[in-house]
Amino acid sequence: MIATPQSDGIVPDIMENKLYIGIDNGLDGGIVGIDSDGHCSFKKIMPTISGRDSKRVYDIPAMVSILTVFKERIRIVIQEKSQAFPGQGRTSAWSTGHGQGIWEGIIMTLGVPHSIVGPKSWQREIFRDMNFTETKQASLAVCQRLFPNESWLATERSRRPHDGLTDAACLAEYGRRIYR
């Protein structure tokens, strides 16, 4: 809290309410910011554009813009550690790792505090006391409980919740719990 001449009193300083940002690195990932009070401040699906051969690629200027807008308020960015899974195609594994590298470069360039967290680490904290077998359903359940007024659809026309957004929100909440 700070005193301001305009109010002759104590008002909350917007800079005190820091953001914890979670990033799901994949092309179908998302970026979600949660403030210190546990409110969802923003959510965005991963910015992509059409690249060579009409394949989607990361829209790097849009990615930079997302973090730049909130740079002064960021407490920490939590990025999910990319890893290859058995049976996952090479292109898919490369794309996710590539996304992680792009985000790391952006974050380091902006000088924003960050942490890269493996999926099992954040899931152990966020899904504590939950009996789950499917992590995507568990992250949706957590988001619906923590943020009951938020829609987790990518667009108004979407029919299913966007698991990149729910995972990113869980990563942000993990950051809020661990790095307060």
Q: Does the pLDDT of residue 124 top 60, yes or no? A: yes
Which residue is it, tokens 């938020």?
Answer: 150
The values of phi and psi at residue 151, to 5°, are -95, 135
> Would you tell me the crossing angle of helices 163-178 and 119-126 to the nearest 10 degrees?
80
| Predicted confidence band of residue 13 (pLDDT cuts 50, 70, 90) | very low
The two structure tokens encoding residue 31 = 């970026």
Which residue, 66, 71, 93, 69, is CA-closest to 82?
93
Tens of pLDDT, residue by residue over 43-80, are 999 999 998 888 899 999 999 999 999 999 999 999 99
Range(s) of the domain holding residue 42: 2-178
**Structurally, how many domains does the chain consist of?**
1
Q: What percent of the chain has pLDDT over 90?
A: 76
- CB–CB of 25/103 below 8 Å? yes
- CB–CB of 31/66 below 8 Å? yes
CATH of the domain at 167: 3.30.420.10
